[in-house]
Amino acid sequence: MADETELGRRLAELAESAKGRAVPIAAYRVRARGNQRLRRRRTALATVVASLAAALVAGGLALAGSARVPEPAAVTPVPTPSPFVRPSPAPGEEYASELGYVYGAVAEGDTVRVTVQQLRGVIQGTASPTGVVHTLTLPRATLVEARRLSGGRPADLQLGQLIGRLADGPRWMFRIDYDSEGRVESLREAG
């Protein structure tokens, strides 16, 4: 009997000690999910910190690299100079002439804007282009000495009267007379 009492007492002690150690299954799962969330949060935080550190390092390197290379100075674009140079009269002459096709005439109020394709001298009835094309804005009353444009008879016309005929492409060849100040004095039909 004493053994039975001893056995009962030991079983009671064992049951008492097991009570403190036994964890219900639901509590175990809750604790496991909490630990899992904590690990995920720590991993995400470590990833964010690593990304931020990498971005700061890359930005610092970019700034350090750009500090060494001087930026180009702000330059105002300069328009390319036109290859056209107004002819000037030789000493003792009143006018200097330019040979060219005159076309693309457009009326602009009291003026006429024309395009001039510069030509080299006429050789055996043909002229060769120089590659220089420029525009002139002339008064409507600019004198034009014409022959073919006036029906085959020499005539003095005004540029304003020829706008329609000079509106097309390069067809009419003229000598353009410039005075010593670079102003156009007249156009003379050539060729």
Give the pLDDT score at 67: 56
Report the SS3 class of residue 143: strand
Q: How far apart are CA 108 and CA 102, in angstroms?
A: 17
Q: Name the more confident of 72 and 131.
A: 131
Q: How far apart are CA 48 and CA 125, in angstroms?
A: 83
Residue range(s) defining the domain that contains residue 145: 96-189
Whether residue 77 lies inside any domain: the answer is no
190, 174 Cβ separation under 8 angstroms: yes
pLDDT per position as a tens digit, 28-85:
787 888 888 888 888 888 888 888 888 888 887 777 766 565 666 666 555 556 677 7
Whether residue 61 lies inside any domain: the answer is yes
The verdict on 111 and 160 lying in the same domain is yes
Whether residue 148 lies inside any domain: the answer is yes
The verdict on 61 and 113 lying in the same domain is no
The verdict on 108 and 185 lying in the same domain is yes
The verdict on 59 and 105 lying in the same domain is no
Whether residue 85 lies inside any domain: the answer is no
Q: Which residues of 43-66 are buried (b: 16+ CB within 10 A; e: fewer)?
A: eeeeeeeeeeeeeeeeeeeeeeee
User: With the CA atoms of 8, 11, 12 and 18 taken in that order, what torsion angle do they form, in degrees rounded to the nearest 10?
Assistant: 180
Give the pLDDT score at 73: 63
Residue with tokens 């008879």: 153
